[in-house]
Amino acid sequence: MEEPIKPGRRRFIKSAAGAVSALALAKIAPAWAYPLGRSYGDAIRADNAVDLHIRRENLNVGGRLGRPITINGSMPGPLIRLKEGQRARLNVTNALDEDTSIHWHGIILPENMDGVPGVSFPGIRPGETFHYEYDVQQNGTYWYHSHSGLQEQLGHLGPLVIDPADGDIGADREHVIVLSDWTFEDPHEVFRNLTVAEGYYNYQQRTLSDTLADIRGQGLAKTWQDRSMWNQMRMSARDILDVTGSTYTYLMNGRDNATNWTALYKPGEKVRLRIINGSAMSFFDFRIPGLEMTVVSADGQPVKPVTVDEFRIGVAETYDVIVAPKGDRPYTLFAESMDRSGYVRGTLATELGQEAEVPELRPVPERGMAAMGMSHDMGDMGMQSPGGDESGMKGHHGMHDSDDDNMNDNMNNGPQRPSAPDLGIEHAPGGHGPGAAMIARNPVSRLNEPGVGLEGVSHRVLVYGDLVGAHPWPDEREPERDIELHLTGNMERYMWSFDGVKFTEVDGPVQFHHGERLRLIMVNDTMMDHPIHLHGMWMELENGQYPRPRKHTISLKPSEVVSLQISADAPGSWAFHCHLLYHMKAGMFRVVNVS
């Protein structure tokens, strides 16, 4: 699908390398994504008020004319750089013909500055300016985006970086990398297509020839067993992402593969890459072939350094990695969508115009039994399809299971990791109603699994179990109370919810008591991965490590259970939702009230 760059063009780019093409590059990429990045010591700080203007305008997106929402003329919006300890003053002017908003994703701030229309403030009406003002009490890599309607899909987002008080970024140079997914379709049309025609964007379904190949490869009986499970469930093992490369152009700092966003380094330098997944719907697998990456921060919060070759970044998550490029050669920055329907690449190079080999897309992954909440050694089957018809699968030992067949290999390569606490989730009979097409009867911790499509890779892949907080957090109390929420969905009708009840149907907020320490237990009763985001407070992931890593967004794999510790220290009302934009719109959204 990607057009290879013709040699002639390559020569042209090369000959034009230098200041001239750097300027040309800056015209398409936002100014902050300037190829030189930022050397440690540059001062581009928002000490004074930042003015942001939100507009809808024509812009070249990947070689075609699109009509995104721009912020100060660019899409993604400008890099906002603040310093820990300062007071942020951000004036947002709405030049759209509809309401808008900006949510500062991952920032701890007062309730009325959080920017969620209907929860923290009324929104910003057309022609109005809203003055955001808050004390910056943290540092790291974050981002900002609209929380109004489907504006995020139109590119209403940008990076937000906060320098530490001591100014030390642990590297000689840094680059910010914003990954996003762009479509030339109207986002409302995308949502309707998902609602009325299941699988609308999935052009990687299993076909008759896959089934015939399975029969040849593993026999009729086993193929029948495998297929009948999925067919009885009326679900697809190839349902990895709802919206795919069939409509998306994946972007790195606003550029597509042909326009190749380039980051420069000088040989011998340590470079900090701040990677932000600002997508509406796309999980990415990020790697730099030939270069190992040391993860030093997750969701803006420092973690003990862990060196990997690849990591999966859920929607709304951020990772900071430090790389030490060897010699004088270009490297490909490669972000592959989780369903392998597309990718975006950029280049880390010593001069503009350089390119490195771009890897092939890996084969389309398939979900295995673990996605249904089953494991090999389970005697009675862990899957229940509510609504009467029990699927009654028995004795399927040795069935094809791409999710965990290879998991052990992968784990053998890596360090020994502690396991998360066993929470022993039991589902009440009856399930979650018609809004939930599936229940994971035996949900398990999957924090040490890299996720669908990454099970068999031979290099080191980051898992949540690797993350260790860089230092303990101030509140070390044991949780006094557990709150359990289930992630539920019905793909066929595009219903997404918590506990089978979408936002418009719930009768009140999730109540946190101000000052309490609580444990949030989440169970994913769906066949999809969901990045769940809590506003206003950190979630400390119970992954068996100490100190626990802090997250603002936690991705749950199918049939996974996770637990998080939260200090309910932020009075007010906060949004809590799946960060897949169309899942949120469908109702996978709650308000958490702290009082």
Q: Which positions ≥6 away from 321 have C-beta within 8 Å?
A: 272, 273, 275, 293, 294, 295, 296, 311
User: Using the rule CB under 8 A, is 96 a contact of another protein?
Assistant: no
User: Using the rule CB under 8 A, is 472 a contact of another protein?
Assistant: no
Pairing of strands 550-551, 539-541: antiparallel
3-state secondary structure of 98: coil
Q: Measured from the CB atom, is 175 or 590 closer to another protein?
A: 590
The region of 31-39, 213-221, 289-297, 432-440 touching another protein under the rule CB under 8 A is 432-440
Beta-carbon count within 10 A of 63 CB: 11
Q: CA-CA distance, 214 to 217, in Å (whole number)?
A: 5
The single residue among 40, 121, 224, 473 that binds another protein, judged by CB under 8 A, is: 121
The single residue among 104, 134, 286, 503 that binds another protein, judged by CB under 8 A, is: 503
User: Using the rule CB under 8 A, is 110 a contact of another protein?
Assistant: no
Beta-bridge mates of residue 80: 160
Q: CA-CA distance, 538 to 474, in Å (whole number)?
A: 12
Q: How far is the CB of 230 from another protein (least distance, A)?
A: 9
The single residue among 53, 55, 206, 417 that binds another protein, judged by CB under 8 A, is: 206
User: Using the rule CB under 8 A, is 593 a contact of another protein?
Assistant: yes
Instruction: Give the end-to-end CA distance of the chain in Å, rounded to a whole number.
Output: 52
The single residue among 9, 192, 459, 471 that binds another protein, judged by CB under 8 A, is: 192
Q: How far is the CB of 239 from another protein (least distance, A)?
A: 13
User: Using the rule CB under 8 A, is 241 a contact of another protein?
Assistant: no
Q: How far is the CB of 380 from another protein (least distance, A)?
A: 19
Q: How far is the CB of 114 from another protein (least distance, A)?
A: 11
The single residue among 4, 18, 267, 387 that binds another protein, judged by CB under 8 A, is: 387
User: Using the rule CB under 8 A, is 430 a contact of another protein?
Assistant: no
Q: How far is the CB of 94 from another protein (least distance, A)?
A: 14
Q: How far is the CB of 208 from another protein (least distance, A)?
A: 5
Question: Tokens for 468?
Answer: 């260790």
User: Using the rule CB under 8 A, is 195 a contact of another protein?
Assistant: yes
3-state secondary structure of 28: helix
User: Using the rule CB under 8 A, is 27 a contact of another protein?
Assistant: no
Binding-site string for another protein from residue 337 to residue 376, where x marks contact by CB under 8 A and - marks none: ----------------------------------------
User: Using the rule CB under 8 A, is 197 a contact of another protein?
Assistant: yes
Q: Single out the residue of 533, 581, 586 nearest to residue 555, CA to CA.
A: 533
Q: Please, is 268 exposed, middle or buried when counting C-beta atoms within 10 Å of its C-beta (0-12, 13-18, 19+)?
A: exposed
SS (H, E, C) 567-588: ECCCCEEEEEEECCHHHHHHCC
Q: How far is the CB of 202 from another protein (least distance, A)?
A: 8
User: Using the rule CB under 8 A, is 300 a contact of another protein?
Assistant: no
The region of 6-14, 253-261, 450-458, 581-589 touching another protein under the rule CB under 8 A is 581-589
Q: CA-CA distance, 58 to 73, in Å (whole number)?
A: 10
Beta-carbon count within 10 A of 387 CB: 12
Q: CA-CA distance, 264 to 564, in Å (whole number)?
A: 39
Task: Considering only residues 549 through 578, tell me which ones interact with another protein, judged by CB under 8 A.
Answer: 572-573, 575
User: Using the rule CB under 8 A, is 39 a contact of another protein?
Assistant: no
The region of 18-26, 78-86, 277-285, 497-505 touching another protein under the rule CB under 8 A is 497-505
User: Using the rule CB under 8 A, is 203 a contact of another protein?
Assistant: yes
CA dist list (Å): 541 to 38, 228, 545, 592: 32, 36, 9, 18
Q: How far is the CB of 574 from another protein (least distance, A)?
A: 9
Q: Single out the residue of 147, 116, 157 nearest to residue 277, CA to CA.
A: 157
User: Using the rule CB under 8 A, is 495 a contact of another protein?
Assistant: yes
- Give the torsion through C-alpha atoms of 528, 336, 311, 149, to 10 deg: -50
User: Using the rule CB under 8 A, is 434 a contact of another protein?
Assistant: yes
Cβ distance 362 to 310 under 8 Å? no
The single residue among 138, 141, 153, 193 that binds another protein, judged by CB under 8 A, is: 193
3-state secondary structure of 298: strand
Task: Considering only residues 147 through 166, tell me which ones interact with another protein, judged by CB under 8 A.
Answer: 147
* Residue 410 parent element (H or E): helix 407-413
Q: How far is the CB of 245 from another protein (least distance, A)?
A: 13
Q: How far is the CB of 168 from another protein (least distance, A)?
A: 39
Residue with tokens 């237990």: 521
Q: How far is the CB of 131 from another protein (least distance, A)?
A: 18
SS (H, E, C) 191-241: HHHHHHCCCCCCCCCCCHHHHHHHHHHHCHHHHHHHHHHHHHHCCCCCCCC
Q: How far is the CB of 238 from another protein (least distance, A)?
A: 10
Q: Which positions ≥6 away from 483 have C-beta within 8 Å?
A: 510, 512, 518, 519, 520, 521
Binding-site string for another protein from residue 406 to residue 425, where x marks contact by CB under 8 A and - marks none: --------------------
CA dist list (Å): 185 to 179, 182, 254, 256, 345: 19, 9, 17, 17, 22
User: What residue type is 50 in one-letter code?
Assistant: V
3-state secondary structure of 273: strand
The single residue among 322, 436, 452, 487 that binds another protein, judged by CB under 8 A, is: 436
The region of 173-181, 218-226, 231-239, 403-411 touching another protein under the rule CB under 8 A is 231-239
Phi, psi at 228, each rounded to 5°: -65, -30
Q: Measured from the CB atom, is 207 or 419 closer to another protein?
A: 207
User: Using the rule CB under 8 A, is 435 a contact of another protein?
Assistant: yes
The single residue among 428, 458, 507, 546 that binds another protein, judged by CB under 8 A, is: 507
User: Using the rule CB under 8 A, is 144 a contact of another protein?
Assistant: no
Question: Tokens for 35?
Answer: 């190829």
The single residue among 19, 208, 221, 428 that binds another protein, judged by CB under 8 A, is: 208
User: Using the rule CB under 8 A, is 506 a contact of another protein?
Assistant: yes
Residues that bind another protein (CB under 8 A): 99, 116-119, 121-123, 147, 191-193, 195-197, 200, 203-209, 228, 231-234, 385-389, 391, 434-437, 490, 492-495, 502-509, 572-573, 575, 584-587, 589-591, 593
